Amino acid sequence: MTKFRKIGVLTSGGDAPGMNAALRAVTRSAIERGVGVMGIYRGYRGLIENDIRPLGYRDMSGILHEGGTILYSDRCQEFRTLEGQKRAAEICRANDIDGVVVIGGDGTFRGGVDLTAQGIPTIGIPATIDNDIASTDFTIGFDTAVNTSIEMVDRLRDTCESLARSNVVEVMGRDAGDIALHVGIAVGAIGIAIKEIPFDEEALLKKIINAKNSGKRNYIIIVSEGLGNYSEHLAEIIPEKTGVDTRFARLAHVVRGGRPTARDRMLATRMGDKAVECLLNGESNVVMCERNGEIIPMDITYALKLDRMYKKKLKEGELNGYSLRDIEEMRAICAEKTARLRELYDMAERMSK
């Protein structure tokens, strides 16, 4: 087995609260195991450009609770080329980096697969507010984004209550409705619109009218950004069809910053520590996943296929090479995830009449 001299660590793609906590865990876990750590700044771009500096145990002081990423982030097109990937591997070798931990979303993991293919063992840690990685129950940053959104919407609710208004609130999440669904439930929204489940607009309008007739004064509707401009459309038709004065808010990047919650700090620390343990034990091309409370490694390529299956993006032949058992396991995970989403959505409906 390789005796690791140093490992590299980078953050890539959209930042997420808890990335710093994960970086700290990776760095300290490696140093405690006698391995040096090199911080790769600005994601894969910094790797290609050799923007790399050593990280010490004390360099990690005071970052656990900070949002953003002290390593900075980037979305790098050049790394998508074979030439870029070869250059990245050369830079790793020149810096005595024997393995890399990449912290980010699915784009970051695709980069990890490419780096492993160039002979640099790589491990992924899922960090994105979107919670849109099917292999893990939760991604780092999701809980914070949900809690920040709740705080914002609670404020909107106060002013809606005073003036008997509705507020349509669009939240981030890319194509995934997880943030919208969790926020919607936690704020007691009268309606939640996400891409994964067909939205019954007529039913929402009726609900608002009935609620108004029974004395309700605030009407919060949470819409996932994956539905495009649907939130603006809703904000237009609600006053026309129900007579309820309506405002519109897009929370956008404001929920991507800020201090990570306890849950995200825990998840980041557990995943960071486990990632180093796996890497030093000779595992590579795996991603850390939280499944039923346990942190487990899953093959990245398998995890990416599973993700594509969940998002219904699989193309003909993409599962060639996988056993029937693997495919059945992927299907079971997707079915479980879909059922959980549906269950939450139906529960939200029961709570919002």
Written as one letter, the residue type at 275 is A
Q: Angle at Cα 34 formed by Cα 260 and Cα 275, nearest 5°? A: 40
- 106 in catalytic set: no
Among 14, 17, 260, 297, binds ligand F6P (CB under 6 A): 14
Q: Is 308 in the site for ligand F6P (CB under 6 A)?
A: no
Residue with tokens 């091309």: 285
The 3-state DSSP composition of the chain as helix, strand, coil percent (nearest 5) reads 50, 20, 35
Shortest distance in whole angstroms from residue 245 CB to ligand F6P: 29
Neighbour tally for 351: CB within 10 Å: 12
Give the SS3 label for residue 11: strand
* Concatenated DSSP letters of 12-24: -SS--TTHHHHHH
Q: What is the CA radius of gyration of the chain?
A: 22
> Is residue 173 near ligand F6P by the rule CB under 6 A?
yes
Nearer to ligand F6P, 130 or 273 (CB): 130
Q: Does 182 bind ligand F6P (CB under 6 A)?
A: no
Longest CA span, the chain: 71
In the complex with ligand F6P, the residue whose CB is nearer, 51 or 225, is 225
Task: Report the residue number, 174 or 308, with the smaller CB distance to ligand F6P.
Answer: 174
Residue 19 interacting with ligand F6P (CB under 6 A):
no
Minimum gap (Å) between residue 13 Cβ and ligand F6P: 7
Among residues 211 and 268, whose Cβ is nearest to ligand F6P?
Answer: 268
DSSP state of 140: B
For residue 227, state whether it binds ligand F6P (rule: CB under 6 A): no
* Min CB(149)–ligand F6P separation in Å: 11
User: Minimal distance in Å, beta carbon 230 to ligand F6P?
Assistant: 15
Indicate whether 18 belongs to the interface with ligand F6P (CB under 6 A).
no
Angle at 182 between CA 293 and CA 168, to 5 degrees: 165
Angle, vertex CA 149, rays to CA 144 and CA 154, nearest 5 = 130
CB nearer to ligand F6P: give 228 or 282: 228
Pairing of strands 191-193, 286-291: unpaired
Catalytic one of 114, 130, 143, 273: 130
Phi, then psi, of 36 in degrees rounded to 5: -75, 160
Select the span of 127-135, 200-208, 240-248, 283-291 touching ligand F6P (CB under 6 A).
127-135
Q: Does 311 bind ligand F6P (CB under 6 A)?
A: no
Catalytic center residues: 130
Q: Give the interface with ligand F6P as residue ranges (CB under 6 A).
A: 14, 105, 128-130, 172-174, 225, 256
